[in-house]
Structure 1
Amino acid sequence: MKDHYLILAGLGLATLIMAWLPSLSQKIKVSSPIILLLVGFLLFSVDIPLLWPDPLWNDQWLMYFSEIIVIISLMGAGLKIGAHYSWSSWKKPLLLVFLTMPICMVSAYLLGQYFLVLSVPSSLLLAAVLAPTDPVLAAEVQLKDPLEQEEDENNIRFSLTAEAGLNDGIAYPFSYLAVLVAQAGSWAAFNFTDWLWDKFFLKIFLGIVIGFVIGRLIGFLLDRLYKYTGVETFVGFLALSLTITTYGISELLHGYGFLAVFFAGFSLRYYEKVSGDYKKKLHDFVHEVEHLLLVVWIILFGGSIMNGMLTLTDWRGITFAFIFVLLIRPLAGLIALAGVKESKRSKFAISFFGIRGIGSVFYLSWAMVQFDGFEYKNELYSITAYIILISIVLHGLTAPSAMDYFRRKGDLSKKPE
């Protein structure tokens, strides 16, 4: 029983700290994930009897846990985006998804093949898991209050929020690609046409349509129930139910659930007959649930690091991680935004803050569950852990100050120079 109480006390303390972290992180200009990571190190050091990764998680457990965090975060991202962003605003995240993401993936694949000396399937998987930016750990640079952001036509936060919402789903086909090539045994035996039409076009299309339709239906139902029966729904819990329902239905109907959840939140946010106050309540509820799960995930991630996860790769993996975070993503972002009418400092901020995180963990664990024959499993987990750790520390130390700088300069709310 003593272990039971130690676990409750440790996790309770960590979640209690989270109540003050947003305000504290603003004052000390350090993102909350860094502080939570230090809490994880501390709890591991004092031997709190959690089921610490040793040093890896069980693939299936990790897949389910990271999956629920990501879909909740994607619902929050969809609910954050207001209805008054113009095509010029959407142009930036679309360029990041359809140009920056492929550049990052091709670079990761080539480095995986010729620098890390991985197999073709493992190189493909590395490229796929590093494709999505993270809607969870990147909260510091994303939209905050959904009622206060609609006027920010050229908003750095909007670009990063929309990018994370879109590419977390669009990265899915490439994880499938790695799994299918691994299962086939070679490129020659791989059925490219089936992957392209089914796993890429069809599942992306279905995910977007299913999510949009469900979001609209829920908005219609909320409006009509109150209008004709007087029944008013004003509980934030609906957002969590909508998240899980949308994800399940989309996956059952052969769509990508990540895209469906984002577009469900997005289309509900656009449904103007539902009050803005209620939309904010929905967003705030999923935001709180996301924070709770994030506390647990980062604590366990810290324990995994302390338990030796970073030792599972060599100097090549470490070098690759720094190259990816410091060079590949920023350069790929700047290339994509080269023709956009935006200040240079805004372009650099959008390009630099391509934070990797829990979405990458999901895709990696999902692939391992789908096919247990991947070579270099330990190396892939370790390299991914390095990239997440670098993102947490580097972006966590720079994001609060950078966002404060752009706010003072007016780049978060004014039109580009």
Structure 2
Amino acid sequence: MKDHYLILAGLGLATLVMAWLPAFSKKLRVSSPILLLLVGFLLFWVDVPLSWPDPLWNDTWLMYFSEAIVIISLMGAGLKIGANYSWSSWKKPLMLVFLTMPLCMISAFLLGQYFLVLSLPSSLLLAAVLAPTDPVLAAEVQLDDPMDEKEYEGNIRFTLTAEAGLNDGIAFPFSYLAVMVAQAGTWAAFNFTNWFWDKLLLKIIIGVVLGLLIGRLIGLLMDRLYKYAGVETFVGFLALSLTFATYGITELLHGYGFLAVFFAGFSLRYYENVSGDYKKKLHDFVTEMEHLLLVVWIILFGGSIMNGILMITDWKGILFALIFVIVIRPLSGLIALAASKEKFKTKLAISFFGIRGIGSVFYLSWAFVQFDHFAYKQELYSITAYIILISIIIHGVTAPTAIEHFRRKGSITEGDRGSATDT
């Protein structure tokens, strides 16, 4: 029983610290994931008897846990984006998704093949898992209060929020690509037609359509229940229920659940007959759940680091991780935004803060659950852990200062912008 109480005390104190971390991170000008990682190191050092990764997690457990965090975060991202953003605002995240993401994947694939000397399926998988911008660890550079959305075409937070919501689902077909090539054994035996029409097009379309439809139906149901039965819905828990229901239904109906969850939150956020106060309550509840799970995930990630996950790869893996975070993503972002009329500093900030995190871990573990014979499995986990750690440190140190700089300059929430029109 002593171990049981130690676990409860350790996790309780860690989550208690999370209540003050946002305020501390603002004062220290570092993001809260860095501080949480230090808490994880401390709990491992004092030998709190958690089921620490040794140094790798079980694939299935890791897949389910990271899946839950990502879909909850995607619902929050969808609920943040309101109706005040014009087409010119949406062009930037769409360019990041349809140009930056492929450039990052192609670069990662080529480096995986010719620098890391991985197998073809493993190189494809590495490229796929590094494609998404993480909606969880990137929360501090995304939209904040969903009711405080004054229009500004150069909104950095909006661009990064929309990008994370979109590309976390669109990265899925490329994880399928790696798995299907690995299962086929050779590129020549791979069924490209099935992948293109089914895994790439059909599942994306189903995910987007079902997400928009479910969010709209829930908004309509809440409106009608109040109008005709006097039943007012004002519990934040509905956001969690909507998250899991949307994800499960969409996956059962052959769509991508990540996309569906994001668009369900987005669709509900747009539904005008649901009050703005309630939308904020939904968002706040999801954010609290996300923070709770994030505490546990980063603590265990810290334990994995202490147990030696970083020691599995060699200097090539470390150099690849640095190049991907510091060079490939920023350069790919700048290429995508080259035609934008934004100032170079704004484009650089958007390009630089392509934070990698829990979404990458989900795709990696998902692929290993689907096919357990990938070559270089442990090396892929180690390289991904390096990329996440580097992203946490570099972006965690620079993001608060950069966001504050652009806020003072009027590029985040102030400036020549109108007021929100949400009901």
Which TM-score applies when normalising by structure 1?
0.99
* Residue 153 of structure 1, CA deviation: 3.4
Report the counterpart of residue 265 of structure 2 in structure 1. 265
Identity, in percent, stands at: 81
Report the counterpart of residue 392 of structure 1 in structure 2. 392
Distance 2:142 2:416 in 1: 18
What do residues 197-229 of structure 1 show as CA deviations (whole Å, max 9, x unaligned)?
A: 000000000000000000000000011100111
What do residues 147-190 of structure 1 show as CA deviations (whole Å, max 9, x unaligned)?
A: 00242332100000000000000000000000000000011000
Distance 2:29 2:397 in 1: 7
Distance 2:393 2:314 in 1: 20
Distance 1:30 1:132 in 2: 23
Report the counterpart of residue 406 of structure 1 in structure 2. 406
SS of alignment partner, residue 395 of structure 2: helix
The answer for unaligned runs of 5 or more in structure 1 is none
Is residue 7–residue 48 contact of structure 1 (8 Å, CA) maintained in 2? yes
**Which residue type is aligned with residue 187 of structure 1?**
W
Is residue 84–residue 149 contact of structure 2 (8 Å, CA) maintained in 1? no
Q: Does 2:52 match 1:52?
A: yes
Report the counterpart of residue 279 of structure 2 in structure 1. 279
Q: How does 1:209-288 map to 2 (within 5 A)?
A: 209-288=209-288
Is residue 134–residue 164 contact of structure 1 (8 Å, CA) maintained in 2? yes
Q: How does 1:74-113 map to 2 (within 5 A)?
A: 74-113=74-113
* Residue 392 of structure 1, CA deviation: 0.4
Distance 1:203 1:150 in 2: 34
Report the counterpart of residue 15 of structure 2 in structure 1. 15
Of residues 170-179 and 25-34 in structure 1, the stretch that sits farther from structure 2 once superposed is 25-34
Report the counterpart of residue 202 of structure 2 in structure 1. 202
Distance 2:153 2:233 in 1: 31
What do residues 241-298 of structure 1 show as CA deviations (whole Å, max 9, x unaligned)?
A: 0000000000000000000000000000000110000000000000000000000000
Distance 2:366 2:247 in 1: 16
Distance 2:152 2:230 in 1: 35
Q: How does 1:2-401 map to 2 (within 5 A)?
A: 2-401=2-401
* Residue 112 of structure 1, CA deviation: 0.1
Is residue 30–residue 397 contact of structure 2 (8 Å, CA) maintained in 1? yes
C-alpha RMSD over aligned residues: 0.9
**Which residue type is aligned with residue 301 of structure 1?**
F
Count of residues in correspondence between the two structures: 416
**Which residue type is aligned with residue 134 of structure 2?**
D
**Which residue type is aligned with residue 210 of structure 1?**
L
* Residue 373 of structure 1, CA deviation: 0.6
Distance 1:183 1:244 in 2: 30
* Residue 28 of structure 1, CA deviation: 1.1
Which TM-score applies when normalising by structure 2?
0.98
Distance 2:147 2:412 in 1: 15
What do residues 30-55 of structure 1 show as CA deviations (whole Å, max 9, x unaligned)?
A: 10000000000000001000000000
Distance 1:328 1:153 in 2: 26
Is residue 156–residue 350 contact of structure 2 (8 Å, CA) maintained in 1? yes
Is residue 152–residue 411 contact of structure 2 (8 Å, CA) maintained in 1? no
SS of alignment partner, residue 152 of structure 1: coil
**Which residue type is aligned with residue 137 of structure 1?**
L
**Which residue type is aligned with residue 202 of structure 1?**
L
Distance 1:200 1:360 in 2: 18
Distance 1:45 1:24 in 2: 23
What do residues 289-347 of structure 1 show as CA deviations (whole Å, max 9, x unaligned)?
A: 00000000000000000000000100000000000000000000000000011111110
SS of alignment partner, residue 20 of structure 2: helix
Report the counterpart of residue 421 of structure 2 in structure 1. none
Distance 1:204 1:397 in 2: 35
The answer for unaligned runs of 5 or more in structure 2 is 418-423
SS of alignment partner, residue 262 of structure 2: helix
* Residue 415 of structure 1, CA deviation: 6.5
Is residue 154–residue 346 contact of structure 2 (8 Å, CA) maintained in 1? no
Distance 1:196 1:415 in 2: 44
